[in-house]
Amino acid sequence: MALRYLFIDFDSFFASVEQQFNSDLRNKPIGIVPKLGVETTCCIAASYEAKRFGVKTGTGVREARYLCPEIHFVEGNHRRYVETHKRIHETIHQIIYIDEVLSIDEMYGRLPPRWQAREYARNKALEIKTTLRKTIGENIGASIGIAPNRFIAKLASKLEKPDGLVILDFADLPQGLYGMPLAEVTGVGRNMLRRLHRARIMDMEALCAASRRQLHKIWGSIEGDRMWYALKGIQVPTKATIRQTISHSHVLPHKLRSHTAAHSVVHRMLQKACRRLRAMDYFAGHLHVQVKFGFDHRWSEEHSVFPTQDSVTLARRLNALWELRPQEAPAPTKVSVVLSNLIHADAHTPSLFPQENQTRRVQLQQAMDQINKDYGNRSVYYADAIEAQRSQEAAPMRISFTHIPDLELEDDGF
């Protein structure tokens, strides 16, 4: 017996939270959208009732209505999702130590030796499910996978959705995985799926039967070897993750689709990114701005800077880049800003030129950060962002696959 990992995957999380908070939505097909009344947007999540009709993340509103005429659209409430996530994390953490939160709807913990027997592990999983129903609500289901390594535990959590519980020990491998589509395997994206098909690996059984040398050749690197070991239930040492970027992007609502308004939205996003930068104690050495004009005209510019976390320095660089945009382009429809070449404060060497360190401005921005933390994130800001700061629709807080917002840093305050 070596059941070392317990993986929790929350079922249709955004939709389940809405159904928990609104009893009128329970047992009904719902789609979560960024904003109601916009026919050109798409679903960012769908309930299981909607998924049965073929509605999924990324399905357009018109298509979703065609597939499921009875669908109810709900505007996403990201603050509610973050708050619910935090309550769930605190609840589970009292039962089992959570080693890592991977996303808003995924987390895992390692089972101590005394909990690794099959029945003990199952009872812990059932305790988590029961406690969640009592403290969070009946409508927020969790599918749990238990296995010798994290990789298999994650796959197991997907096998019996919703509200599943699957245990796969060494004796259950590899046959216990045969029912999983290749496209759902962690680490198998669209391009890798094509490579596997070219190698005549068409299903999970064939993938599990492949040799280590064969997978190394298909992946073209040691990642193929890591996949081979992971499929055997062997825990492969995880590579240390180093934060590489801080970014924000926003599809502009119609009333902000002008060059002036887009410029303000980009500055709002840059100031949000700088606040995150300072909160995490990082410095950025590269700024990249992207704009989509109309439907198919894309423009981007970038600039390297001495590593900084100063909003003013980066705003000046942004303004210089903005002047390079195509002046005759159509109205902007989407804007993005990316800070990269990140360096942690522990590895940062201040400039030899005192004027570049801007000690007083750093103190000012720390004071601004504290005011925004205490009184709301739109309390004080630099004037370049004024139009966007006054609009509820300008770059609001959003949850991404890789980022759970910190409400103290990013809550919009509306």
Q: Give the confidence band of 230 by pLDDT, cuts at 50, 70, 90.
A: very high
Predicted confidence band of residue 244 (pLDDT cuts 50, 70, 90): confident
pLDDT at 132: 95
Least confident of 160-164, 306-310, 342-346, 403-407: 403-407
According to CATH, the topology of domain 245-410 is Dna Ligase; domain 1 (3.30.1490)
- What are the pLDDT digits (tens) for 17-45? 999 999 999 999 999 998 888 888 889 89
Residue 275 has pLDDT above 80, yes or no: yes
Q: What is the pLDDT of residue 412?
A: 62
pLDDT digits (tens, 9 = 90+) for 203-212: 999 999 999 9
What's residue 11's pLDDT? Answer: 86
pLDDT of residue 413: 55
Tell me the pLDDT band of 58, cut-offs 50, 70 and 90. confident
Between CA 42 and CA 8 the distance in angstroms is 27
- Which residue ranges make up each domain of the chain? 1-172, 188-239, 245-410
Question: In sequence order, what are the residues at sequence separation of 6 or more whose Cβ sits closer than 8 angstroms to the Cβ of residue 109?
Answer: 5, 6, 92, 96, 97, 98, 99
Residue 266 has pLDDT above 90, yes or no: yes
Neighbours of 376 (CB within 10 A): 13
Mean pLDDT of the chain: 88
Q: Which of 67, 72, 65, 66 is nearest to 24 (CA)?
A: 72
As a whole number, mean pLDDT of residues 67-93 equals 93
What's the pLDDT band for 295 if we cut at 50, 70, 90? confident
Whole-angstrom distance, CA of residue 286 vs CA of residue 308:
9
Q: How far apart are CA 301 and CA 317, in angstroms?
A: 11
Task: Reply yes or no on whether the pLDDT at 401 is more than 60.
Answer: no
Longest Cα pair distance anywhere in the chain, in angstroms? 68
Nearest to 178 by CA among 188, 164, 187, 168: 168
- pLDDT at residue 89 tops 90: yes
Q: Does the pLDDT of residue 124 top 90, yes or no? A: yes
- Residue 253: which of 394, 355, 114, 115 has the closest Cα? 394
Residue 213, C-beta contacts closer than 8 angstroms, at least 6 positions apart: none
Q: Which pLDDT does position 402 carry in this prediction? A: 61
In the structure encoding, which two tokens stand for residue 365, read together? 């921005």
State the pLDDT confidence band at 321, using cuts at 50, 70 and 90.
very high
User: What global pTM score does this model have?
Assistant: 0.72
Q: What is the mean pLDDT of residues 299-316?
A: 92
* Rg of the chain (C-alpha set): 24
User: Does the domain at residues 1-172 carry the CATH identifier 3.30.70.270?
Assistant: yes
Assigned token pair, 388: 């966007």
Catalytic residue among 63, 106, 160, 393: 106
d(CA 265, CA 222): 42
pLDDT at 396 exceeding the cut of 70:
no
- Of the pLDDT bands very low, low, confident and very high (cuts 50, 70, 90), residue 372 is confident
What percent of the chain clears pLDDT 70, i.e. is strictly above it?
91
Mean pLDDT for 272-290 is 91
173 vs 191: CA distance, rounded Å: 26
Band (pLDDT 50/70/90 cuts) for residue 202 is: very high
Q: Is residue 83 flagged as an active site residue?
A: no
Residue 356, pLDDT score: 57
Going by pLDDT thresholds of 50, 70 and 90, the confidence category of residue 235 is confident
Residue 374 tokens, joined = 């205490």
Which of the pair, 414 or 194, is modelled with greater confidence?
Answer: 194
What pLDDT, on a 0 to 100 scale, did the predictor assign at position 351?
A: 61
